[in-house]
Each structure stands twice: as structure tokens, then as C-alpha cells.
Structure 1
Amino acid sequence: MLTQQPVAASLLERFRSVRQATMDFASRLTPEDMMVQSCAEASPVKWHLAHTSWFFETFVLSDFVAQYKPFNPDFRWLFNSYYKALGEMPAKKLRASFSRPPLDEILAYRQHVDAGIAQLLEQTPEDEAMRRIVLGLEHEYQHLELAVTDVKNAFFTNPLHPAYRLESPTEHEERISPPLEWLSYTPEVAGLAPGIVEIGVTPDPAALTSFAFDNETPRHKVYLEPFRLASRLVTCAEYLAFMEDSGYERPELWLSEGWDTMRDQGWTAPMYWRRDAEAKSGWSVFTLSGFRDLAELSETPVCHLSYFEADAFARWSGHRLPTEFEWEYVAARCHPAGNLLESGYLHPATASADLGQPQQLFGDVWEWTASPYTGYPGYKPLPGALGEYNGKFMSSQMILRGGSCATPQTHIRATYRNFFQPSIRWQFSGLRLAQDGPG
């Protein structure tokens, strides 16, 4: 069954917009910047530019364009990330050694792939090709967000601590964070027993350009006890109070693995914080605009925390982290908008004083939840190599929700499930508190 041409035309417009967003972010970087791989979790920006093109070439053009000629046959294995069904690939830690192919060739590769996708969409492709292109765009948005966090880490590890940009929007920092409120929820859904709610997505196969990742499916029922959720995210000032109360020195606050990891890694503060005798607060925080005095950011959400740190803070405060199902139950009733990539702030922003409503559910920081990353009941990965996209990582990872200041606006939704190992700190990750019981 062929799709209608207006749908293909709309998708082509979106394709060009997403691909340009990646290039817009990269436009401030030098070729040397794009070679850096500063930590085990990161990849060079040049690699991101190539790999996102590889995805469209491998899963769309090679499968749906007759006699398609690859830009370079070696790119099929060179820029493979982790799809073992497609063969071998270089170890991730070697990506910074790819001085060749040069950046000019990578940019030419992007143009080659862009032209191929444009030609395919102009010919009104098969439905499955359309679905793959939509998946490729969501994949590119994921890598755009990763590029933001990777560049921040690269510039932080550089002894010169360069700024991605010198200007720093400050309008969000003029606000005082509103007092934390506890918002009460007694889950009820019409037609279901009290406490029973529906979570996740059941995709409509006829809706070619709507999207959810396979790990968001299928929609299913869960039981939720009454709970209370904090009205906003935890701030830097609140986290500093935890630190000043010997939070990193009290084993009773930490999970056993978290305590061992924290001690082994020498953590004494969130990632990108450093002691600074010249700073008013005694601390400086590295941002994409360079180092800032913590005093200027004290009302903004704390970020770059591991799950272990978020959990320890929650225990110290006498509360807990929400489950991913509690979070989704609340977020599904809110519009997915906030301080996201398009705001241009590139740092978490102070909450507004809209009392009685949950703030900062979308954007600012990814929120650690108490939920491990597993498949929903009835979960089935995509067929073939694409089945490796999410399912094979359902082990030893924790769920985060809500997006961050580096997440594109149209990429996030209430059902989106991000996941990382509990020790990971290089993402814009923070926390919101929860507690049991009705109000």
C-alpha cells in the first residue's frame, strides 16, 4: 500500500528541519572540537554526524531504493554503533581515532544521504519506508541531544575550559524558586477500578508519521496507590544543603553499590561542580557558557547527578524517588512543554511560581525514577536488526523521564522512557521527590 503524497511531502519538510538542527548545533564547533571523545559514554560530534547518516543509509536507502549505491562501502561497518546483526564494528572507545575520513567527507556523506531520502520521499515510498524515516528522525534527535552533552563534557575536560558560546541567557535566573509543594494524587481512570491506570502506548499502524519507541509499548494497566509528588525539581541550593550535612559521608543514605561507586570515583559533589575560593558561594559550576558562580544558579535545578546520588538525596530528605508510572500518570495530564533545546538556554532554569500545578515535568533535567528498565507486559522488539535498538539494553539500567534542556521539543512526550546505568552523570539528570499516601 502506497502512502499519500501530502504525507510524504510533510515528512520531507520535517526531515530537512531535523537534519538542519544537527548542523546548526555543530556550526559553532571547530573540526578539532568534533574529534574529541572525553569520556567512555561520549562520542565525537563528527561520529554523530556520520552515524545518523549511516542509520538512514542502512535502514532506509539500502532496503527501499533499488540499486542504491552506498557513499562508501566501508562506512557500513565503520559507523555501525552496536547492531551486531549487521556485523562487526570498531570499539566505541576508538571513535576519537577516526581522523580519517575527514570532516569534509562526512559532510559530503550527509549530503549524499539527504539527497537519497529526498528523492525517495518525492516518489511516495512504501509505508514501511516512511516508518523507518520517522524512526531515523527520532534517532537523530537522540544523537543531537547526546552531542550537546558530549560537547559539554569535552569542553569541561579541556584545561582551558572553553565555552560553547560566550553569551548566557539570564532571564530565568532572576526568579526565586517557589516553595516546594506536595501535590496529592489518588489515581482513578474512568471505566477502571480505583488505583488502576493505563501506561504506555499502543501504536496505530495506520498513523505513519506518529511515533513511539518500541519500549513505550504496549499500553497496559498498572496499579498505583495514592501518592504525592513534589511540585518542582530539587534545586542546587537544596542539594548543597545535603552536601553540607555530610551527605557524601553517611553510608546509611546510600545503596551499597552507590556507596562503593561514589567512594571509588571520588564523588563529593555533582559533576561539573568544583570548589572555588573566589566564588561567592565557594563553588563554581561548569556550563556550556563556561564556569558560573553557584550563587548565580542556586535556584536552578541541580543536574548531572547519578541515580545513586538522587536516591541518597531522597533518603536524606525523608522522601523517595517516584516510580516511572507515578510520573507518567501525572505528566500525561500536562502539555509537553518547558525549557527544552529550542529555548536556547542550554541549562536548567528556575521554576515558575504557578502554585498548585506540577512544574518542570518536561525539560530542564531528566528525572531519575525508582523504576528499573524492563519491558512492559507483552513487549516485543522490532523485527530484524532494528530490534537491537532498545530491547537488548533491558538490564542493569534505571528509567529517567521528562527530557532536559538539551532535548528537542518534538522529541519528548509523557510516555518517553530514557534509560542509563545508575552511575551515569554526564547527562542533564536530576530529581523530583515523591512520598506515599494521600494528602
Structure 2
Amino acid sequence: MKTRAVRLYGENDLRLEAFELPEIKEDEILVEVVSDSVCMSTYKAAILGKKHKRIPQDVDENPIIVGHEFAGNIVKVGAKWKDQFKEGNKFAQQPALNYKGSMWSPGYSYMYFGGDATYNIIPTEVMELGCLLNYDGETYYEASLAEPMSCIIGAFHANYHTEMGNYVHKMGIVEGGKMALLAAAGPMGLGAIDYALHCDRRPELLVVTDIDDERIERAKKIFPEEEAQKCGVRLIFVNTAKIDDAAGHLKALAGGEGFDDVFVFAPVQRVFEQGDSILARDGCLNFFAGPTDTSFSASLNLYNIHYASTHVMGTTGGNTDDLIESLKLTEKKLINPAVMVTHIGGLDSVAETVLDLPNIPGGKKLIYTHIDMELTAISDFEERGKTNTHFARLAEITGRNNGLWCAEAEKYLLENWEKNCVV
């Protein structure tokens, strides 16, 4: 079986190549990848190369396939797993393996296992850990986006709170509490808003900040305050760039007491310190954004840690239970992961997209691996449609869906776009 894949050879060295996959062993599974969403973590791996903790030191000789937020179809099942997985079924997968203490993960560590490929081989440890999931959903993109959504869900579950006089940590956000999502009008922040509004433990007040009016207006369009009220949540958007005392303003919105749960979605010192300053008593700050600078630091109010029991933590992903929760919420139409997506592209656009990711505006970049297509913003479909009937059709479909990617758009793309070829 030949595959076409984007492989990493070293720092800033991504190559789109066609090559032969080995025959699968009895404890492996061959899959066809259909969709993969691009993660900022892939950019970090690509620019760091061997310096990244998950990248093998011999990557220059044994390149790895990038991409870890992927879904597709099961093609061939090794004898060991035939009772659990059937050829022709769809799959979703959890890339956070944590196998025997190893940091190996698809998209970072494997020669034949990664999302930016037409076909790949899933190794036995994935099935042993229960990280390969049979998936019955309608779309592939929702299964791809279940991974980033699981990171958000995991962060909400990992926050914790305490009680004076005992040593029990109560896991999860405060139900009916006050929550702030800082620098959160980007893709992961939008996913967090969606989850906060529709999960089974919701805040009473949800304040979302950003410094870009365009991103805030898009977020407001996707999540109208009236819709949030139906969920029992008071939703407020704030552009902190326009406020002299942003921390004071945010704290005032919380009645002067501060917030029970604060999530920081940008690795910016000022934003982290702002989050620390608006914590209520026993408030939990989750530093969700991962920096690339190994010496990144910020000041912390230790007085409040001691006397107000504030605490700080960080999460880097979700577990399989979080992924399953994401898939179930999506299947029930309670959350819509498409709120994170702003661009669509083909496999030929991956290398350039990954290496330039911090400079490309908008949210998630969704890749369909069996087509060649320049990375294109959904908002540009209409303009591109003036000379391309396929883009015109996609513009019409997404236009009827509040400007969001959807099942109808995916179906049209997969059925009508010219497939790339492996030679």
C-alpha cells in the first residue's frame, strides 16, 4: 500500500512525499485518513525538530508523519484485533498515548502513524490503551476536532477547588460559579465557550476577552448572548485592549469578588498575570496555552496563594474519556466543533500551513488528505467562487450555516473535489 504524507526531517523541514507502507503485522491496523485538523503543537514540533521532546533523535534518517487530530476509515485489521474493529468502519483516535512512560505520540514520533497522510498504520499500543475508537458519526471533521475539544474538556475537568478545614480537592469547575476565558476568541477559546454553555456543569457568569474586534464580533455571532441565556449563562465579551484597567474592569463584572475559574488561552505574560489578579478566593487559574520558550515565566501573587487559597495549574491535553465525551456531545448536537474551523485545505497545503501557522489569521485549519487544495478561508469561498464553481457551491452551503463548515459542505467536497494521486 502506497501512501502520500507530509513528513518531518528536522527543524523547518517538512516534505510532501509518496512512499510504500510495510505490510501490517497481526497486531496492527491499516487505516485511510480522511481529515486532519492542524494544531499549533504541530508547528512547535516542526520548528523545533529534534529539540522537541516527542521527536526522535534520528528523525533526519527516519522521518515522521505529522498531524495528530485525524479520523478516517479502517481498511485492514490485523488478526489480534478482528473481534473489536471491522474493515470499512470509521474511526476516531486519542493521540495522547502515555504508553509505558513514553512521550511518543502520532504526529510526532512514528514513521507510519500520523494524520497528514492518505493511509497509515496504527501500532498495537494504540489499541492496547483503548485509544482507537469505533466512530459512528456522520462527518469526519467532527471526529478530527474531537481531539482539540477533548483538550478543552480535560482542562475543565482538571480544574479543582478546596474547602477550608479539609484536604479534599473537588475536581472540575464551580457549577453556577464565575468563569473567565482570557484571550479566548481564537479556535480553542471558541471551543471552550461552546463547552461551557452546553456541558453538564455550567458557570453562571462567563466573561470572554480578546484584543481583536473582528474575532470578538465573530464570536458574538456564533454565540449570541440570548442563546447563552437559554443555557442559564450570562455571557459577556470584553475587548481588554480598549480598557485602561482591564483587571479592575473584569473583576467588577464578577461583583468585585473575582472569578472561580480562569483559563488563559495565550502564552503572554501580561495575560497570565491578568488572570492571576482576577481570581476569587479559592480561584483556580488554568494556564492552557503552551509556550515554546522553555524559560517563559510571569509574576504570581504569592500572598493570595497563601491567604486566599488561589491556585495555578496547566493542562496539555485530554484523555480517552474526554474524547468520548466530546464525540457524544457532538453526536447529540449539544456542541458544534465547527465553530473552531476557519480554513479548509488539501494535503499539498499542509507544509506551508504548519510552518506559517502563527501568521495565518483565524481559527482551525482543516485538511482533507485525499485532495489537493490551497488553504482557503471559508470567508473567501464566495470570492473564489467567481471563477470556481466548487467554491461557489461551498460558499452557498456555508452561507446557509452561519458561515460555518458543516456536514453538507464536507459531503460536497469529498464527492466533487478532484482527488490527489499517489504514483
The two structures have a TM-score, normalised by structure 1, of 0.24
Report the structure, 1 or 2, having the larger strand content.
2
Report the structure, 1 or 2, having the larger helix content.
1
Greater relative CO (CA pairs within 8 A, separation 6+): 1
The two structures have a TM-score, normalised by structure 2, of 0.25
